[in-house]
Amino acid sequence: MTPLDNIWQVALALVGTVGLVVVLGYLAKRFQLTRPSSNGLLKVVDSTYLGPKEKLVLVQVANQQVLIGIAGQEMTRLAQYEASADFQSVLAGVNDRNQTAGDELEHRVEQPNRAVEDV
């Protein structure tokens, strides 16, 4: 056996090992092979991806459900309600709050800033 044959054997073994690690990592991420919570107080009810680094997660803690928005390294609580509440009514409440905030912003933009006018 020549040294060139040994190099090819080592290279092939290295490529095989790296390939196996990549495939196992993909499968673990794809099927979320994680251990469930031991006490069962925290439960991910549902999650959906909105974009490359954005998703919504519905988490249940005791008798409360919390809708969390995740974007990059930031997490924001969007809504919190009793677990028995109707989800459509919760979404309607969130939409109402967003509409109110949008109306307030529009009102502020329409009114000129008097301090700037005096200068």
pLDDT at 97: 65
CB atoms within 10 A of CB 67: 20
pLDDT at 114: 47
Tokens at 54, concatenated? 């954005």
CB atoms within 10 A of CB 33: 9
**Beta sheet of 54-61, edge-to-edge order:** 42-51, 54-61, 64-71, 74-82
Higher pLDDT pick, 28 / 19: 19
pLDDT per residue over 52-93, tens digit each? 889 999 998 888 889 999 998 899 998 888 876 666 666 666
